């Protein structure tokens, strides 16, 4: 029965192709640190390996907004704008700089020890949904990338 055999082969081949496509599409999974924010990985500036990293606070954004750091990194925000800005972490009991304590020319430093995502925003020019003036500090897993 040559027809039957051909059909069987065709079905098997297409099943194989589907399976291969499904497996090949997943490149982001695996053992990377858990990410809680919906921002593409390629938006992040990789500054892992630095013990101190600066973020400029200008009118009205954080530069760079999305950074990946190593555990133990001290991140310092520097107010280089003219408008009032604050730095509000969305992760409880972590970092916070209020407008009154963070004037023009001031700096605010926080040391990031635990891996994970630390989204933050300026409530004067952004929202807790990370629209407008907002950023994320991503602390990479200790074992490297």
Q: Where on the chain is the footprint of Cu ion (CB under 5 A)?
A: 60, 85, 122, 124-125, 133
For the CB of residue 24, give the shortest distance to Cu ion in the complex, in Å.
43
Q: Using the minimum distance from each CB to Cu ion, give the nearer residue, 79 or 138.
A: 79
Please, which contacts does 100-108 make with residues 24 or more away whose CB atoms are closer than 8 Å? Answer: 102/57, 102/77, 103/79, 104/79, 105/79, 105/80, 106/78, 106/79, 107/76, 107/77, 107/78, 107/79, 108/76, 108/77
| C-beta of 50 vs 80, nearer to Cu ion | 80
Instruction: Name the closest residue to Cu ion (Cβ).
Output: 122
CB 44, min distance to Cu ion, A: 21
Choose between 125 and 138: whose C-beta lies nearer to Cu ion.
Answer: 125
């Amino acid at each position: 029965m040559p027809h039957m055999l051909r059909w069987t082969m065709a079905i098997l081949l297409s099943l194989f192709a589907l399976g291969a496509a499904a497996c090949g599409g997943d490149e982001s999974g695996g053992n990377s640190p858990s990410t809680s924010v919906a921002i593409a990985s390629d938006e992040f500036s990789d500054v892992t390996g630095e013990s101190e990293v600066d973020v400029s606070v200008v009118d009205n954004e954080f530069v760079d907004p999305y950074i990946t750091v190593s555990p133990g990194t001290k991140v310092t925000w520097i107010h280089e704008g003219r408008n009032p800005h604050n730095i509000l972490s969305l992760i409880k009991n972590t970092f916070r700089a209020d407008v009154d304590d963070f004037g023009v020319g001031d700096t605010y430093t926080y040391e990031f020890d635990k891996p994970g995502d630390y989204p933050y925003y300026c409530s004067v020019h952004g929202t807790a949904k990370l629209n407008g003036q907002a950023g994320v500090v991503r602390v990479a897993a200790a074992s490297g990338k």
